[in-house]
Amino acid sequence: MNIRTILHSELDCHLKPDLDLIKQGISEIFETGKIKDHGAIAEMLSKVEEATTLINKEKSLASKLKTASNEEKQQIKQEKDITTDKADVALEDALTLLMKVGGKDAYHYDYDNPFNMVVAGLMGSTCYMKEDFKALQEKRIRNILTISNVVLNNGHHSTFGHSHVTLEISQIPKALAMILNNEKECAVSEKSARYTVMDQIEPKELELYEKWKDIFTREITQKYGDSQPFFDEKGVRATKLAQENARYMISAFTPTNMVYTTSFRQLNYLAHWLKNELNNPNSNKFYAGVKTEMSEFIAFVKANNLYLENLEDHKDRKLSLFGPGVLGETLSSETYTLNYNTSIACLAQAHRHRTIGYRINEFRFNNEPSQFFLPPLLKNLGDQDLINQWFEDIRSVEETIPQGKLVNVVENGETKNFLLKALERECSEAQWEVMDLTRRYSQKFSDALKEEIAQGTEKANSLDGLDKEDAINSIESIKQMQTKFEKLSNGARCTAGYKCLRPCGFKDGITLERDI
């Protein structure tokens, strides 16, 4: 697995020079040999030495000031202020000479711990600032770093969440991608198993993938032909849908590529959570299968100076993809909890909706015999021999945890966010399984909200005055939501008020009766 930083936030402020950063710049120009003015080197090094001496003296005086008597404090403070001013002048001179020796780019921040400590210090300073933002950004770096260390060690980690980094991760197992995606604080772009051919596959899985890709292509073409405009005469759409269904045969550990953006704080939390899982002797088979890549992720964060030992979650959280099951489902107009079986591939699709919580029931994952998803196209063909082949083939790679393996999932969140998911997934373009699952729950939501409306109306009738008006207003809001769910249980989103920018013209898709 390879990881590379390809994009990051820039520190866009006029900060006063930092001694450590100046030293870093000097080290880099000597290492690269990109020296533009050899004559200024001695003067630059002299100014750095002077600044170092003055800053050390400033620290010593600050320490003395803490324990000094009242009579001594005024004199020590005056000496410290003079020393600070001299240090600032020396730093400015050193910086000017550095850019003369190495060029304008010789003084710069990399996206690493020093950069993020400065960002966190600036953000932390905002919480206590007496001045405006311009004055804040002109604070001395050493003052800013003092604040960043305070917020780091007292758990005020939100200040480390302002800076974001984008990672390009190649050859990441799909399972690890799902683990990262389930933590939510991220933006992700990932290689599509529908629009691209999956080629980094083990020989046995590749054989099954190619076999079923051909079978699905044949059966899709035979059933739908070149139905315009959704299916085309060249068979491109049929091929893409065939790829999507054939991928049920390949392992959850199949390598993929992704671009992953998250905050510096979350990157550290992830590294700590992955580290904790590495130390777990009772990891389930899903986590255990990617421990090598977990180690590589942590190693990358540390090697690129992005890991802070104290920047860890203190709320006893851990990786969230697996957890306990639930005793039942609850559906209301405000919040909901669902419990269903779905394929690993379908769960990966659902991860796109980051406002919703998902977890795999770990007890069932560890103890239940494996069951597998049967694509509706095969089921509806009525060809028992083909169905038997499907289950025989997918069971032959059971140990690899194929993406067609069914897992028991707990989903929870705000009902308004499920409605948003329905308005996205109930569409001809959506993967069949996530579309069908969303449609079925739209019907359940519709029924549950009807009952909630009836109960609310009965309660409203017993009230009077403002309380009654408030209850009636709330019931009206639930009615509007119920109407949308009812429409979504009977047809695609384009029949429920969603304005489609690219109408598909696919009848079976619009009625939600498609089987591909």
Concatenating the DSSP letter of every residue in 190-219 gives E--TTTS---S--HHHHHHHHHHHHHHHHH
User: Which among 243, 240, 238 has a CA at the least distance from the CA of 223?
Assistant: 238
What is the predicted pLDDT for the residue at 77? Answer: 93
The mean pLDDT of 117-122, rounded to a whole number, is 90
Looking at residue 336, the DSSP 8-state letter turns out to be E
CA 294 – CA 301 distance, rounded (Å): 11
Task: List the single range of 188-202, 280-294, 453-467 with lowest mean pLDDT.
Answer: 188-202
Question: Contact 492/509 with Cβ under 8 angstroms?
Answer: yes
Global pTM? Answer: 0.88
What is the predicted pLDDT for the residue at 9? Answer: 58
pLDDT at residue 11 greater than cutoff 70: no
pLDDT tens figures, 228-246: 678 876 778 899 999 999 9
Token output for 178: 């799902």
Cα dihedral angle (317, 322, 323, 324), rounded to 10 degrees?
180
pLDDT tens figures, 67-112: 999 889 999 999 999 999 999 999 999 999 999 999 988 888 888 9
CA 5 – CA 478 distance, rounded (Å): 46
Across-strand partners of 170? Answer: 2
- Give the confidence band of 133 by pLDDT, cuts at 50, 70, 90: confident
